[in-house]
Amino acid sequence: MSSMADRFRELSDAVPIPRPWSLDAYVAVVAEYRKRPITLAPMDTSGLGGTGCGTGSGLWIARHDDDIIVYDRDTSPWHAQHIVLHEVGHMLLDHGQQHTGQPDAVGSDALSRLLPSISLDSVRRVLGRDAYGDDYERDAEAFADAAMLHATQPPPPNSSMRRTFFRGRRR
């Protein structure tokens, strides 16, 4: 199968995961790669009513010139990072261009309550779970899992050889 593991490997070559791990540093690298600034916005996401990503607590708000990742400020540090990485997964897997569904996963009322400081005029798209469908959600979740694993477990010294070896065996 053309697995997420392969796509993740390609993406982590193009957009290296920093060592030592730092979410802020990684988000900065992703922003540079996409040539669009990314702002992380910890919020009380209970007002989303489960329309966000994953367990309902993440959102990608695409504006004309930058992107905002909303995540639940009241969760554990591990889960907060997982939410952000899930949204980064949607970005790097290009789900923003391909999303299937409704233009906005979250109504503008909920959005202005959530982010009173942002201008709704500048918002192009709000991407939550409903905007993607199950396949993209699963892929973004798998991306976040892989990134967390990668971030917390240093590769063995001979990892490039191992990768070549296993890649060869799969064919």
Q: At 71, which helix (H) or strand (E)? A: strand 67-72
Cβ-based nearer residue to Zn ion, 91 or 140 = 140
The CB-of-132 to Zn ion minimum distance in angstroms stands at 6
Between the alpha carbon of residue 161 and those of residues 20, 118, 150, 157, the distances in Å are: 22, 48, 17, 9
Q: For residue 140, state whether it binds Zn ion (rule: CB under 5 A).
A: yes
Which one, of 38, 28, 36, 60, lies nearest residue 136 by Cα? 60
With contacts defined by CB under 5 A, name the span among 64-72, 111-119, 129-137, 144-152 that binds Zn ion: 129-137
The CB-of-14 to Zn ion minimum distance in angstroms stands at 21
With contacts defined by CB under 5 A, name the span among 77-85, 103-111, 131-139, 145-153 that binds Zn ion: 131-139
The CB-of-139 to Zn ion minimum distance in angstroms stands at 9
* Binding residue (CB under 5 A) for Zn ion from 27, 38, 53, 84: 53
- Residue spans of alpha helices (H) in 2-158: 4-14, 23-34, 77-92, 95-98, 108-114, 129-132, 134-152
Which one, of 93, 105, 100, lies nearest residue 130 by Cα? 105
The CB-of-117 to Zn ion minimum distance in angstroms stands at 24
Q: For residue 84, state whether it binds Zn ion (rule: CB under 5 A).
A: no
* Contact footprint for Zn ion (CB under 5 A): 53, 137, 140
